Structure 1
Amino acid sequence: TSDHTRPVPSRLTLPCLLERLRRGNPAIEIVILVATGCHRATTPEEMRRKFGDALVATERFVLHDCEDAAQLRHLGALPSGGALWLNRHALDTDLLVSEGFIEPHFFAGFSGGRKSVLPGVAGAVTVRANHCSRFIADPRARAGVLDGNPIHLDMLFAARQARLRFILNVTLNPDKSIHAAYAGEPEAAHLEGCAQMRAETTVPRVEAPIVVTSNGGYPLDQNLYQAVKGMTAAESCCPPGGTIVMVAGCADGHGGEAFARALAEAESPDALLRRVLAVPQDATPPDQWEYQILARILVDHHVILVTDLWDPEAIRRLTRTGRKSRRGAGQRHAPPRPRRARGGDSRRRVRHHHAVVFGIAASRLDSPLRNR
């Protein structure tokens, strides 16, 4: 099952899976493995909030730790050449079942399905190899793209090696309620869900000099690390030199020590991007993929982070505003005046879902951005 960073409605979906398994075999022994990937461990409070007091009190939960060698087993190599390490609980079970949700993913094409295994219950070495700079820079590693996506292909292989047998994936409405459910053989059910999600979320691209975006609220906007995803949605509509305004709560701050350190120590977005692209697959450091994508965006765009839950001074210290990049993104000044679109009126694109951003300037709002 997914961790605290994902809005999977586990209070509803997980009891359904447990009931069905026990109906078939009342004596079945069930371990619920929380697929944290390379995220921090889910706290007890977050566990209760996500799964409910009753489930946490009565079921056996195990938190995946990607750095704990005792939890992992080596299964050879991924198609890309990276080492494949997976959690022993997932490998030693007689039946591996997963739950998750499907939405466009900024480099894996779509979330859900095989992502429960890689990165969900994979070792850190495996995740880093799969998220290497060469793959992140591949033009097929983009939201909505599965065909030929090297990151997706590694993930499929890992799920097959883990013998993932059944999935329950959902798509969500804006209020995080369930929109549709897809269950069955993992690859077929996931592809059906992705096809429907693509049909429902694809809109004609309209370019605009100012693009306002968000991650769709908590938990997807809980830190800056997660907010980078929304920036990529805005990036697709914002021309070089344009301004991206990211609205995100960031209650959890930056979201990753390696991520924050890379940003704070970078001479410029250009320099950071050049350094990352020179890193070989087997030397990929933690969080490199996230700051690689953020640097790519900052090279060509002004980015403003609007938050009511994170100290603006902490953001400024982290991002060290005032540095120049190739197109001026990152300079400390007001965003450029919007260019006039044809017809005489300025266009501003607003993206509500599957979005994120990182800030050059920070603003604290007097009122909450959303209901939490």
Structure 2
Amino acid sequence: MKIPLGTGTIDVRFPDCDVTVARPPGGEGVDVRTAAERALEDPLGPPLEDRLDPDDEIAIVVTDITRKVPDDVLLDVLLERLEDSGVDREQVTVVIGLGLHRPMADDEIEAMLGPHADLAINHDPDSVVEVGRVGDGVPVEIGDPVATADAVLSTGVVEPHQYAGFSGGAKTVVIGAGSESIIRYTHGPDMLSREGVRLGRIDGNPFRETVDRAGDLAGIDFSLNLTHGPAGVLGVRAGDGRRVVDELATIARAALSVPIDREFDAVICGVGAPKDANLYQATRAATYVALGDRNPVCEGGRLVVPAELPEGAGEGTGERRFYRRLREAADAGSLYETMREGYEPGAQRAFVVARVLRDHDLYVTNSATPDVVDECLMHPANDVTDALEDGTEVLVVPDAMNTLLVDGAR
């Protein structure tokens, strides 16, 4: 069986194991450019040209290298529409929504945005403007080029998200172009332990509601998002952020849900590029499986994530904090209890990983940095077979980031 690793795949054999494969329905793919142009012609809410003036200075927030989004195509379609509305290219600044991830290098930006790379700058979380407050007076701070723009647009992807239910919409701007303040609040232990903050859920999700309110304060005028699955891009929508997320999440659920009615000794969580560039991102595959609607791993069972990890734990601020927390911890249980009292923004991934490690062993295989894996309370292995025991029941989730395991007993 082929499992994703980096930009390719590896062949995995399962000697003497009882293997089940979780393959979502997949949906039907669409051509990104055609679907994006159609979405702009039939937006959810007023058309783009009615939301801005031809002399506006415009900021377009796009996703960074950690998201698998054809931002070059979405951006190209947006820029063409802006030009048709009388907006010159020189009036546009493209802001890469890093959050607390590392800045992208010039060659990475060029590879991602092609002929529009010259318009792009990395978000600077230290240069922000307060645009209002949410929750108990938490400041919403947005990067200067976005906060001072006359109109704010965004591209992005609506895909299953551990905390927001689904990503996309206002999240691209509020988190991607925000400051430590809003990230600390939305990713803190109080928020992440609230009822409703879970993978695949939008309605009644306090994380999602907070991000959307912050997006209102940030003045996001228009979103162009897509959703994807095994068949490729499944749909594109444009317009009001909340409506865009709702419609694309409905498409995604239908394409990505797999009912599970029993538990397994081990679950292989496929991830591949770009998420397997570092341990911070790659562990999402395991936590998405174990902390979703239906945890398929039996008590004491193991999660197996094949990941290349060319960047080790990761190079951004959040990634370094994640690494330090796990590296310095004696065990997952004590780390989880300590972090319930609070932690710095970015370290939330260590909190979520510790939550999973209390109940399950996590093996990371095929990596370039097994020493980093070993330092972080996880188990390195040369390949997937080495991480499995003969005669066990194994569930394979080839694309764990884009599979929603739901309770098949309902």
**TM tier relative to shorter chain:** 0.7 to 0.9
Residue 185 (structure 1) shift: 1.7
1:245 aligned counterpart, secondary structure: strand
Q: Deviations over 1:136-181 (max 9, x none)?
A: 2224211101122221111001111111111111122447x43321
After superposition, the Cα gap between the structure-2 partners of 1:318 and 1:186, relative to the gap in structure 1 and judged at 3 Å, is: closer
Residue 195 (structure 1) shift: 1.2
With a CA cutoff of 8 Å and minimum separation of 6, indicate the structure with the bigger relative contact order. Answer: 2
2:78 aligned counterpart, secondary structure: helix
After superposition, the Cα gap between the structure-2 partners of 1:270 and 1:336, relative to the gap in structure 1 and judged at 3 Å, is: farther
Q: Deviations over 1:15-67 (max 9, x none)?
A: 11111111111436101011111111111121112112x222xx42121121x
Q: Which residue number in structure 2 is paired with residue 198 of structure 1? A: 253
Residue 188 (structure 1) shift: 1.0
Q: Which residue number in structure 2 is paired with residue 115 of structure 1? A: 171
1:42 aligned counterpart, secondary structure: coil
Residue 254 (structure 1) shift: 0.4
| Aligned ranges 1:9-48 → 2 under 5 Å | 9-27=70-88, 29-48=91-110
Q: Deviations over 1:236-274 (max 9, x none)?
A: 211221111111221221012111111110011001000
After superposition, the Cα gap between the structure-2 partners of 1:88 and 1:114, relative to the gap in structure 1 and judged at 3 Å, is: same
- What is the rounded CA distance, in whole Å, between the counterparts of 1:248 and 1:201 in structure 2? 22
1:218 aligned counterpart, secondary structure: coil
CA-based RMSD of the aligned residues comes to 2.2
CA contact (8 A) 1:83 1:129 kept: no
- What is the rounded CA distance, in whole Å, between the counterparts of 1:267 and 1:278 in structure 2? 17
- Equivalent position amino acid for 1:183 in 2: A
- What is the rounded CA distance, in whole Å, between the counterparts of 2:107 and 2:371 in structure 1? 28
For structure 1, list consecutive stretches of 5 or more residues without a partner in the other structure.
323-332, 339-345, 357-372
Q: Which residue number in structure 2 is paired with residue 288 of structure 1? A: 347
- Equivalent position amino acid for 1:306 in 2: T
CA contact (8 A) 1:117 1:155 kept: no
TM-score, reference length from structure 2: 0.75
For structure 2, list consecutive stretches of 5 or more residues without a partner in the other structure.
1-61, 381-385, 403-410
Would you identify which runs of 4 or more consecutive aligned residues in structure 1 move more than 4 Å? 333-338
2:153 counterpart of 1:97? yes
Residue 320 (structure 1) shift: 7.5
Which residue of 367, 370, 374 maps to 1:312? 370
Residue 336 (structure 1) shift: 6.1
- Equivalent position amino acid for 2:82 in 1: L
Residue 335 (structure 1) shift: 5.9
1:38 aligned counterpart, secondary structure: coil
2:141 counterpart of 1:85? yes
- What is the rounded CA distance, in whole Å, between the counterparts of 2:276 and 2:250 in structure 1? 25
- What is the rounded CA distance, in whole Å, between the counterparts of 1:48 and 1:212 in structure 2? 34
2:95 aligned counterpart, secondary structure: strand
2:398 counterpart of 1:352? yes
- Equivalent position amino acid for 1:19 in 2: E
CA contact (8 A) 2:196 2:205 kept: yes
| Aligned ranges 1:142-221 → 2 under 5 Å | 142-174=198-230, 177-206=232-261, 207-215=263-271, 217-221=272-276
Which residue of 287, 293, 301 maps to 2:360? 301
After superposition, the Cα gap between the structure-2 partners of 1:261 and 1:116, relative to the gap in structure 1 and judged at 3 Å, is: same
TM-score, reference length from structure 1: 0.82
2:201 aligned counterpart, secondary structure: coil
Residue 354 (structure 1) shift: 4.0
